[in-house]
Structure 1
């Protein structure tokens, strides 16, 4: 059907990753982790290195940043990271250019919105509430005890059920292989964005069915 004749959005719902997809949070994550490493006498990393540390939850972040330090030290690093990040998660984190307008276009078209992140649930909700006031997300899920993290599809499927939308009618939008794997495992359309933590080739290799280099291109893929 030509775009001019389309009366409904291409997908009934769009599920978004948070870090690297909706918001540019690299500086605050890297700053908090480097602070924690320094507090425990460990070497820090250039902020760009964190593009390959994030995406699979905070414990994996700590393990990678500490070069798989012993368990007791990782636990102490995790506590230090969380304490510092809680005070600084909004220092530099902002929505990517055009994202707010994109979300508003989707809402106007009737697309249901949700967020699914491997960031802790409290931080996920805090960032969404602070940076996207008034955007009517139908549900916001972060990492929670007893719920498997992405790429396990369980949380994505629970979100779709909460929105009342079949998985096949959902697009899952993210910036890492974890997101693409989640989408494919859940039977959702995998849409990769190239402005986040990973590049086009890596997203395609892990199942991206569409790619967007800007919010405008993402709108074209979803509407």
Structure 2
């Protein structure tokens, strides 16, 4: 049984793709580059803003000016179209009621990560919220996940990582944590490689509580 939980943000707690894509498209247009259909951004997100801009600009080489524009535009856009996934707030409430300490770990820059969590989930008593900072390696490096486990006061094998992508699954594996892949996120096919697969937020709280350390190498499925 898990004693704590870490959550990815984009594609796990929040459906944020439209705001990410809209801000990135505007940054591209401002620099004479073609925009993308918003659905294409599923393939660009999850590994940090530098990778996002690199993928969105391809085959044109990365340009720091486009990244700078995106970092300016995204905070202005990020609350316009983003919404929590239906059922997520109830799942978080159930986990808090069960006494599990919770934290967020995202590859999104730290400032917008904190702002989004506060805006959408300000009533949840998060023990920690961690976005990417330049001095700490991004997921799937386990450094931040392990630091959060220490902050929550649990061993990694007793803390489950909930996410929607292969990056999240790899982070959990690298940290020695069981993982739950969610079926409603940006990359549900990648989520199926997790220790457990959760098809809907309505069963997430029960699955988090049932997650076992043996699932770091095994696999379970929510019913």
Normalised TM-score (structure 2): 0.91
- Structure 1 gaps of 5+ residues are 1-9
User: Do the aligned residues in 1 keep the contact of 2:54 with 2:61 (CA within 8 Å)?
Assistant: no
Tell me the equivalent position of 2:98: 109
* Residue 86 (structure 1) aligns with: 75
1:26 counterpart residue number: 17
CA distance in 2, matches of 1:143, 1:193: 22
2:202 equivalent in structure 1? 216
* 1:126-205 alignment, distance < 5 Å: 126-200=115-189, 202-204=190-192
Q: Is structure 2 residue 84 aligned with structure 1 residue 98?
A: no
The question of whether the paired residues in 1 share the 8 Å contact of 2:164 and 2:182 is answered with: yes
Residues 1:134 and 1:45: Cα distance change in structure 2 (over 3 Å): same
Match among 30, 33, 36 for residue 42 of structure 1 = 33
Unmatched runs of 5 consecutive residues or more in structure 2: 210-223
Tell me the distance in 2 between the aligned counterparts of 1:212 and 1:113: 18
Partner of 1:140, secondary structure, is: strand
Give the number of aligned pairs.
209
| Kept in 1: contact 2:165–2:187 (CA 8 A) | yes
RMSD of equivalent CA atoms: 1.0
Structure 1 stretches of 4+ with a deviation exceeding 6 A read none
CA contact (8 A) 2:179 2:196 kept: yes
